[in-house]
Structure 1
Amino acid sequence: MYNYNQPKKIDMNFVKDGAYRGGEAFSALNRSHGLFYVHGSLPGLVNSSSKIFASISEVGIFDDQVKPFLGAANMMILNVVPMDNSEVLVRCYIDWNEDLDFQVSIVVF
């Protein structure tokens, strides 16, 4: 029998980034490590038939701006689940022993 440890769930407010890519693009910032869920709501835009693509990257402050960069930690998107209640659930993993700043970006079609 498999033993599943329930990872923590991080509620995030996705902010539309304004760039047109054929879909609607959003991103959110937070800190974590290990296995966790990113959770957000996009009312009127997401249902279980939505196609959602997600990425994760480490972020830092460069020239007084938050910018993504390639750090030493492996960061992974494991699953993306659009739901009929307009919510998006993204399972992520950061292979590091302490919390790191990260950005999750999604595009909804």
Structure 2
Amino acid sequence: MEETPQHCLSRLPDNSALKQQELPAHRLYFTARRVLFVFFTTGIFCLCMGIILILSARSTQEIEINYTRICANCAKLRENASNFDKECTCSIPFYLSGKMMVGEIQET
């Protein structure tokens, strides 16, 4: 067996668990009880979130406004690419007949 020269030994890392990456690893033990608990907990959470989303979607009001004919002049103006810098304003007045929910409204 050949001996390694002294100058090669000086370049080796220290023989410690941190330097040699021989740290103990944590292993997860998947038992049937743990897997079923996580599975059913996730299912119950998703079911609750689904019920909340369905109930909040029921209270949503939708308003449909057809602006095809009213704003046709803006569409004709935009057909020509040289008119990209010209302003075109389209305004449609509408009325909400029902009572609206009061709350915080965030504008983006």
Query: TM-score normalised by the shorter chain: which range applies?
Result: under 0.3
**Structure possessing the higher relative contact order (Cα contacts under 8 Å, 6 or more residues apart):** 1
More strand by share: 1
Which structure would you say has the larger Rg? 2
More helix by share: 2
Q: State the TM-score, normalizing by the size of structure 1.
A: 0.18
